[in-house]
Amino acid sequence: MKKLYSALILSALALLAAGQSQAAHPALKRICGAAPVVPELISGKTATEASMIQVAGSVRGFADQSLAYLSCLDSQPASTSYMAQPSFRAQLSAYRDQVADRLEATVDAYNAELRNFKAQQAQVAQK
C-alpha cells in the first residue's frame, strides 16, 4: 500500500512537471520573476536524519518562495493594459493555479516521505 501511495505521489509530481509547459507571461516575469524551482525530494525509507533535515529546509524555502510568488501574482493591479484583456486574465488564473498545485503536490510528497522516514526509524528503534 505504501509503495502504491509513493508511486501515486511521484506520478502526480511528474504530471505537474510535464504540465509546466504553460510558462508565465513575459509581463509576469518582469514583475514577479520566475516561479520557484521545486526542490529535489529523497526517499524517506533510505534517507538519513541529516538529509531529511536538509530536504525539510529546502521544502520550507520553496513553500515560502511560492507563497510570496503567489502573493505577487495576486497583487497584479487591475488597471494594467494586460489585465483588461480577458485572455490574459484567464492565462494568469491558470498559471496561478498551476503554481499553487505544484506547491501543494511538493509539500504532500515531502510529507509522505517524512512519514516513510519516521516509520523506518520506528522499525529500527524496535530492533
Distance between CA atoms of residues 29 and 31, nearest Å: 5
Distance between CA atoms of residues 15 and 19, nearest Å: 6
The residue ranking higher by pLDDT, 89 or 37, is 37
Q: pLDDT confidence of 41, banded at 50, 70, 90? A: very high
**pTM of the predicted structure, to 2 decimals:** 0.75
Domain ranges of the chain: 2-19+48-126
* For residue 12, pLDDT beyond 70: no
E strand or H helix at 2, and its extent?
helix 2-18
* For residue 51, pLDDT beyond 80: yes
**Mean pLDDT score, 81-104:** 86
Cα 67 → chain centroid = 10
Q: Which residues have C-beta within 8 Å of that of residue 52, sequence separation ≥ 6?
A: 42, 44, 113, 114, 117
Q: Which residues have C-beta within 8 Å of that of residue 9, sequence separation ≥ 6?
A: 105, 108, 109, 112
Q: pLDDT confidence of 16, banded at 50, 70, 90? A: very low
Q: pLDDT confidence of 22, banded at 50, 70, 90? A: low
